[in-house]
Amino acid sequence: KGFPRYDEITNYGESLGHGSFTRNFKGFKTDIRDGEKHVTPVFLKELDVVHKNCWESFFEAASLMSQISHKHLILVYGVSVLGVKNIMVQEFVECGALDLYLKRRRSVSVSWKLDVAKQLASALNFLEEKNIVHGNICAKNLLLAREDDPSQGSSPFIKLSDPGISVPMLGKDVILDRIPWVAPELLDAPEKLTLDCDKWSFGATVWEIFNNGNTPLLGWDLDKKRQFYESSQQLPPSQWTELADLVNQCMDYQADFRPSCRSIIRQLNSLITSDYVILHATEHITK
């Protein structure tokens, strides 16, 4: 897979705001296959010029994502380079980021959320089997490719986005700001990014999903966030004890105590959602 050339990317202009180190745009990718012109909408992330020293890490993220393929991982076409501009070209995901979607919708069913958590766990399992560390799992980096269509019995469909600039390249403040997603052991040793760290982030992301996309520790300053980890605190537990237990296991301050992906998937599969229970209860009554 070659990196797309800049002149194949058109309509580069509709701004979609900022990422941590990027400016985002919607665009279109044009390629000629079998003599036919194919136009595909794409999402473009242009690395900020002030973060130019991170370009290697940015390329690494793109190359990692373009080399692996899984239905719940975003498709990255490559990085387009024009002079000083480095632009990551990836598939355009219609419904955008999951945190924003959940905040907008407010009331999403428990089984919907559980579906999303299972999909993320399957992506995580795929990465674990390949021994690939993601390093930036959070609800903002889960993109919603399909809401759901109850009339067709179809469920939501998510894709995990690229990790962006890797943790060891980040400044201390950015790492502190990523509390509670960043694994606590990375505060003092950002280079110790391992598969265990993704488990912690998974726990924090599941917490977000089941809290309607509300941002945990919103508005806390960096000092307060650091103290949160230094005193080994936990996010407020879900009332659903089995779910709270799973989040707790993932967000264990002792990295090697965190569960394997197989265990996470097994636990998710054993969770019976309350709307499922309610559905069956009413069926029973109407019989």
Binding-site partner at residue 93 among ligand ATP, Mg ion, none, CB < 5 to 8 Å by type: ligand ATP
Min dist. Cβ of residue 32 to Mg ion (A): 31
| Phi and psi angles of residue 79, each rounded to the nearest 5 degrees, phi first | -115, 130
Report the C-alpha dihedral over residues 156, 1, 168, 228, rounded to 10 degrees.
0
Residues 160-179 that bind Mg ion (CB under 5 A): 161
- Of 86-94, 103-111, 185-193, 261-269, which part binds ligand ATP (CB under 6 A)? 86-94
* Helix/strand/coil for 18: strand
DSSP 3-60: PPPGGGEEEEEEEEEE-SSEEEEEEEEEEEETTEEEEEEEEEEEEPGGGGGGHHHHHH
Determine the Cα–Cα distance for residues 209 and 276; give it in Å rounded to an integer. 18
Q: Residue with structure tokens 């399909």? A: 146
- Of 29-37, 49-57, 84-92, 117-125, which part binds ligand ATP (CB under 6 A)? 84-92
- What's the length of the chain? 287
Between β-strands 76-82 and 22-33, what pairing exists: parallel, antiparallel or unpaired? unpaired
Binding-site partner at residue 90 among ligand ATP, Mg ion, none, CB < 5 to 8 Å by type: ligand ATP
- Of 7-15, 140-148, 198-206, 232-240, which part binds ligand ATP (CB under 6 A)? 140-148
**Would you count residue 141 as binding ligand ATP (CB under 6 A)?**
yes
- What sign does the CA torsion over 119, 121, 125, 127 have? positive
Q: CA of 280: how far to CAs of 101, 111, 114, 286, in Å?
A: 28, 14, 18, 10
**Would you count residue 22 as binding Mg ion (CB under 5 A)?**
no
Nearer to ligand ATP, 74 or 261 (CB): 74
Which residues lie across from 31 on neighbouring strands? 38
DSSP secondary structure code for residue 10 in this structure: E
Interface residue with Mg ion, options 141, 166, 201, 205 (CB under 5 A): 141
Say if CB 87 and CB 44 are below 8 A apart: yes
Interface residue with ligand ATP, options 28, 81, 96, 249 (CB under 6 A): 96
**Would you count residue 184 as binding ligand ATP (CB under 6 A)?**
no
Interface residue with ligand ATP, options 93, 186, 209, 246 (CB under 6 A): 93
Q: At 148, list the tokens.
A: 């759901």
- What sign does the CA torsion over 81, 86, 92, 94 have? negative
**Would you count residue 143 as binding ligand ATP (CB under 6 A)?**
yes
Min dist. Cβ of residue 279 to ligand ATP (A): 32
Q: Residue with structure tokens 């907008």? A: 104
**Would you count residue 111 as binding Mg ion (CB under 5 A)?**
no
**Would you count residue 58 as binding ligand ATP (CB under 6 A)?**
no
Interface residue with ligand ATP, options 25, 27, 29, 43 (CB under 6 A): 43
Min dist. Cβ of residue 27 to Mg ion (A): 17
Name the residues that contact ligand ATP, by CB under 6 A: 16, 19-20, 22, 24, 43, 45, 74, 90-93, 96-97, 100, 136, 140-141, 143, 161, 164
